Chain A
Amino acid sequence: MPNIEIGYQPAHSLAKVTLQANESIVAESGAMVGMSTNVQMQTQSQGGLMGGLKRMFGGESFFRNTFTAQNGPGEVLLAQALCGDMAVLPLTPQGYYIQSSAYVASTPDVAIETKTGGFKGFFSGAGVFILQATSQQQGQVVVGAFGGLEELTCDGNLVIDTGHLVAWDASLQYSIGKSGAGWIASWLSGEGLVCHFTGQGRIWIQSRNPSEYGQSVGSQLPPRKG
Chain B
Amino acid sequence: MQPQAAQPSPGQPAAGGVQHQITHGPSFAMLRVDLQPGQTLVAEAGSMVARHQHVGMEVKMNAGRGAGLWAMIKAFFIAVIRKLVGGETFFVNHFTAPQPGSVWVAPTMSGQVSHRRLNGETLTLSSGAYVASVGDVDMKMKFGGLKSLLAKEGAFFLQVGGHGDLWFNSYGGIEAIDVNGPYIVDNGHLVGFEGDLRFDIKSAGGGVMGFMASGEGLVCEFNGQGRVYIQSRNPATLVDWLTRIMPG
Q: Is the CB of B50 within 8 A of A159?
A: yes
The stretch of B25-33, B34-42, B196-204, B218-226 that contacts the partner chain = B25-33
Q: Is the CB of B242 within 8 A of A217?
A: yes
Q: Is the CB of B110 within 8 A of A205?
A: no
Q: Is the CB of A164 within 8 A of B50?
A: yes
Min Cβ gap B41→A in Å is: 13
| A189 CA to B110 CA, complexed, in Å | 22
Q: Is the CB of A147 within 8 A of B239?
A: no
A190/B91 contact (C-beta < 8 A), A155-B6, A156-B1, A158-B6 known: yes
Q: Is the CB of B28 within 8 A of A10?
A: yes
Check: B149 CB closer than 8 A to any chain A CB.
Answer: no
Contact partner, A157, options B53, B86, B246, Cβ 8 Å: B53
Check: B24 CB closer than 8 A to any chain A CB.
Answer: yes
Q: Is the CB of A148 within 8 A of B23?
A: yes
| A192 CA to B104 CA, complexed, in Å | 16
**What are the residues of chain A within 8 A of B242 when measuring CB–CB?**
217, 221
Contact partner, B28, options A11, A155, A157, A219, Cβ 8 Å: A11
Q: Is the CB of A155 within 8 A of B1?
A: yes
Q: Is the CB of A180 within 8 A of B59?
A: yes
**What are the residues of chain B within 8 A of A148 when measuring CB–CB?**
23-24, 27-30
Q: Which of A148, A153, A158 has the most CB of B within 10 A?
A: A158
Min Cβ gap B5→A in Å is: 4
Q: Which of A148, A180, A205 has the most CB of B within 10 A?
A: A148
Q: Is the CB of A208 within 8 A of B28?
A: yes
Check: B109 CB closer than 8 A to any chain A CB.
Answer: yes
0 or 1 for each of B1-22: is its CB under 8 Å from A? (1 = yes): 1100110100000000000000
Contact partner, B49, options A156, A164, A192, A196, Cβ 8 Å: A164
Closest to A222 in B: B243
Contact partner, A150, options B23, B47, B246, Cβ 8 Å: B23
Min Cβ gap B178→A in Å is: 29
0 or 1 for each of A200-226: is its CB under 8 Å from B? (1 = yes): 000001011100110011011110110
0 or 1 for each of B60-92: is its CB under 8 Å from A? (1 = yes): 000000000000000000000000001001010
Instruction: Label chain A's interface by main secondary structure.
Output: mixed
Min Cβ gap B45→A in Å is: 4
Count A-side interface residues using an 8 Å CB cutoff. 43
Check: B127 CB closer than 8 A to any chain A CB.
Answer: no
Q: Is the CB of A152 within 8 A of B28?
A: no
Contact partner, A212, options B59, B104, B108, Cβ 8 Å: B108
Closest to B5 in A: A155
Check: A191 CB closer than 8 A to any chain B CB.
Answer: yes
Q: Is the CB of B45 within 8 A of A188?
A: yes
Check: B181 CB closer than 8 A to any chain A CB.
Answer: no
Check: A107 CB closer than 8 A to any chain B CB.
Answer: no
Check: A5 CB closer than 8 A to any chain B CB.
Answer: no
- A: which residues have CB within 8 A of B? 10-11, 83-84, 147-148, 150-161, 164, 179-180, 185, 188-192, 196, 198, 205, 207-209, 212-213, 216-217, 219-222, 224-225
- B: which residues have CB within 8 A of A? 1-2, 5-6, 8, 23-24, 27-30, 45-54, 57-59, 86, 89, 91, 93, 104, 106, 108-110, 235-236, 238-239, 242-243, 246-248
Ordered by A's residue number, 28 sampled pairs between the chains whose C-beta atoms are within 8 Å are A10-B27, A147-B28, A147-B30, A147-B110, A148-B27, A150-B30, A152-B8, A153-B6, A154-B6, A156-B1, A156-B5, A156-B52, A156-B53, A158-B50, A159-B50, A189-B57, A189-B91, A198-B53, A205-B50, A207-B23, A209-B106, A212-B108, A216-B108, A219-B86, A221-B239, A221-B246, A222-B243, A225-B248
